[in-house]
Chains A and B, each alone.
Chain A
Amino acid sequence: MLLSIKDLRFHYPGDSKMVLDIPQWSVKAGEQVFLHGPSGVGKSTFLKLLAGLLVPSGGSITMLEQPLQSLRSGQRDKWRARHIGFVFQQFNLVPYLSGRDNIHLAAHFGGKGDVDTAATTLLASLGLDEKLRRKPAAELSIGQQQRVAIARALINQPELLIVDEPTSALDAKNCDLFMALLREQLAESSTALVFVSHDLSLANDMSRVESLEDINQAGRGS
């Protein structure tokens, strides 16, 4: 099992209202999980917990047999850099760095040495030519930025890729292109995917489709 959650509970400090209460949930290696649900059910909070950006109030999140909550904050940052890739809705890149340098920065935190060749190959396979790779990220179109974001998220060959509403800022054409490229990249790797979106039409070909409302018991009358 790549990732397993047991009795996960979370509430924000200073607020007793439970945001998440998940008795059991897991992701297998290479599995592609589509997670949907209306806004406000705690999707972002859930992803932050998976990434180690937040610490559970109770229960455990174990990834690659490592309980994340027992890592110190600095160790969690390193863990995230090495094992988890992230693609957000937008603003995925450091705006003043070129696409290439954004990838190098991620590799730097992931403790990878020379990733120049890997980065070039990855960017080329995502349809970004040399000229685009050298442009500051802020000067790229949103579609191009999201493609660089895939490369950035995959450069450290993470075991888990977390994708949060990646297409909501894209038009239909760019959305299709993004999904195609994402599938193509994942087909070549054993990286597991947790894909969060409210748009169920994107769930095609995913190995599992789940609603966060179903797995989260917080807020249910008890």
Chain B
Amino acid sequence: MFLRLALASLHSRKGSVLLTFLAITVSVFVLLGVEQIRQQAKSSFNNTVSGIDLIVGARTGDINLLLYSVFRLGHASNNISWQSYQHIAADPNVAWTIPIALGDSHNGYRVMGTTVDYFNYFRFGQNRPLVLAEGMPFSQRYELVLGSEVARSLGYQIGDELVLAHGLGNASFSQHKGKPFRVAGILRTTGTPVDQTLHVSLDAIEAIHSGWQNGVKMPSSAHGHGEEDLTPESITAFMVGLKSKLAIFRLQRQINTYDNEALQAILPGVTLSQLWQMMSTMENTLRLIAALVLLASLLGLAAMLLASIKERQGEIVVMRAIGAPPLFVFALIQTEALLISLGSIIAANLLLVLCIKVVGNALAERYSLYIDSHLLTPQLAFYMAVIMIGTVLVSVIPGISAYRKALQ
């Protein structure tokens, strides 16, 4: 009876109720949407690498090392000599290493020289390995494996040939024209910078640079030195997997204090969190704006109800005459407010799921941002509970007004 009374009362004031409902729905949608994108962005960010114990590079800042080795952003301040790499890789605690050589590009996408171990040991997300959508890892010198976005946006397929450019510009003047590469494999989408990378072997990096000095091609040099020694002199960085996690800090200290070369080792997880921390101001600003929008619409709800109390005076007198206690009238106002908020939360959730379904693919393709349409996370459930509690709090104002009318 009580619920029917509240519903009938709302129905009798459709116009103002509908507008209030829409205002709250939009603001709940913004709040939940911002929160969902924030969470997904954070988790996809933190999932950029996993299962890698240390990243080693020339001595620089922690974040700089992470940016160029994992996110392919910025430049290495220096390289690591092959001897140092070999020395650390030979440590008995080291299970595997993935060398990384950067510096070339193709149409603005970075080229990474590495070994086949990359495809075996690199992990992202919740310990997910790289999977080839098509083809095979590189086995010949002039073969490469494309990240999914590179293949999609440039329209490459298995067997296509392409030329790498020296340096990182979008339109480089010095191209490794004599040495075209054949696409051997295309990786499945990961939602990480791997999608924007072209992977070649270290040998290939050496081979296309043979005869180059100081970043300039020597005119006299011949092409296709099939038989020469292609062991690199240096690499940009390398990733390390250990046999036992217990050795992480010892090895990190050893590398940081390595005498022959100024090296630095970072724990990727720790540095990822540091990097995310730097963005927390923006994150909090977004949340604050969403919360204020919500507060504004909840106050609108209270104002709408308060304005209705005056016209409901007759109704309140009737209820009191037939035996309704003043608290019943108070509870009726509260219930009406809660029904509007609950309806808004449900509508906002449906709207959000719909939006994610519609624009989710575009976000994934363009920004490699994967938004989960599963909304019942503890965090979002917490927000919805806060909205309901907020509704109860703001509707105390019209509730008390009705209560006092009922006492008269």
Kindly provide the distance from the CB of B263 to the nearest chain A CB, expressed in whole angstroms. 77
A51, A77, A82, A136: the one contacting B325 at CB < 8 Å is A77
Residue B178 at the A interface, CB < 8 A?
A: no
- 15 A–B contact pairs at CB < 8 A? A73-B325, A80-B321, A86-B322, A91-B314, A91-B318, A93-B318, A94-B315, A95-B12, A95-B315, A97-B8, A104-B1, A105-B5, A106-B322, A109-B322, A110-B322
Are B323 and A82 within 8 A (Cβ)? yes
B318 touches A74 (CB 8 A): no
Tell me the dominant secondary structure on chain B's binding face.
Answer: helix
Question: Which of A89-133 touch B at CB < 8 Å?
Answer: 91-97, 101, 104-106, 108-110
B319 within 8 A of A: yes
B53 to chain A, nearest CB (A): 68
Pairwise interchain contact A96-B314, C-beta atoms closer than 8 A: no
Question: Contact mask B1-44 → A, CB, 8 Å, 1/0?
Answer: 10011001101100000000000000000000000000000000
> How far is A108 from B9 in the complex, measured between Cα atoms in Å?
17
A77 with B323: CB separation less than 8 A: yes
Map CB proximity to A onto B304-324 as digits: 1 under 8 Å, 0 otherwise. Answer: 000000000011011111111
Complex partner residue of B324 from A92, A109, A152, CB under 8 angstroms? A109
- With an 8 A cutoff between CB atoms, is A53 at the interface? yes
Across-interface contacts of A81 in B (CB, < 8 A): 322-323
What is the CA–CA distance of A108 and B11 in the complex, to the nearest angstrom? 21
Of A86, A92, A96, most buried by chain B (CB within 10 Å of CB) is A96
A6 at interface (Cβ–Cβ under 8 A)? no
The CA-CA distance from A42 to B318 in the complex, in Å, is: 20
CB-based contact A101/B321 at 8 Å: no
The A interface is mostly helix, strand or loop, or mixed, namely helix
A136-B321 in contact (CB<8A): no
Contacts of A110 in B (CB 8 A): 322-323
Residues of chain B lying within 8 A (CB to CB) of residue A92: 318
Shortest Cβ distance from B322 into A: residue: A106
Return the chain B residue nearest A77 by Cβ: B325
Minimum C-beta distance from A87 to chain B (A): 9
Residues of A within 8 A of B (CB): 51, 53, 73-74, 77-78, 80-82, 86, 88, 91-97, 101, 104-106, 108-110, 136, 138, 152
**Shortest distance from the beta carbon of A74 to any chain B beta carbon, whole Å:** 5
B324 cross-chain contacts in A, Cβ below 8 A: 77, 109
For B323, give its contact among A80, A93, A136 (CB under 8 Å).
A80
Interface residues of B in 274-292 (CB under 8 A from A): none
Q: For B315, what are the chain A residues with a Cβ–Cβ distance below 8 Å?
A: 91, 94-95
CA distance A78 to B324 in the complex (A): 8
Q: Are A101 and B8 in contact (CB under 8 A)?
A: yes
A81 to B9 alpha-carbon distance, docked (Å): 22
Q: Among the interface residues B8, B318, B320, which one has the most CB atoms of the partner chain A within 10 A?
A: B318
**Once the chains are docked, how many angstroms separate the CA of A105 from the CA of B8?**
13
- Among A74, A86, A138, the most chain B Cβ lie within 10 Å of the Cβ of A86
B318's nearest neighbour on chain A, judged by CB, is A94
Q: With a CB–CB cut-off of 8 A, which chain B residues contact A136?
A: 12
Distance A91 CA – B5 CA, assembled complex (angstroms): 17
- Closest chain B CB from A151 CB (angstroms): 12
CB distance from A219 to the nearest CB of B (A): 23
With beta carbons under 8 angstroms apart, the residue of B4, B8, B321 that contacts A88 is B321
Q: In the assembled complex, which residues on chain A have CB atoms less than 8 Å from the CB atom of B320?
A: 53, 77
A108 contact set on B, CB distance < 8 A: 1
Q: How far is the CA of A53 from the CA of B324 in the complex (A)?
A: 11
Interface positions, chain B 149-184, Cβ under 8 Å from A, are none
CB-contact partner of A95 in B1, B314, B322, B323, under 8 A: B314
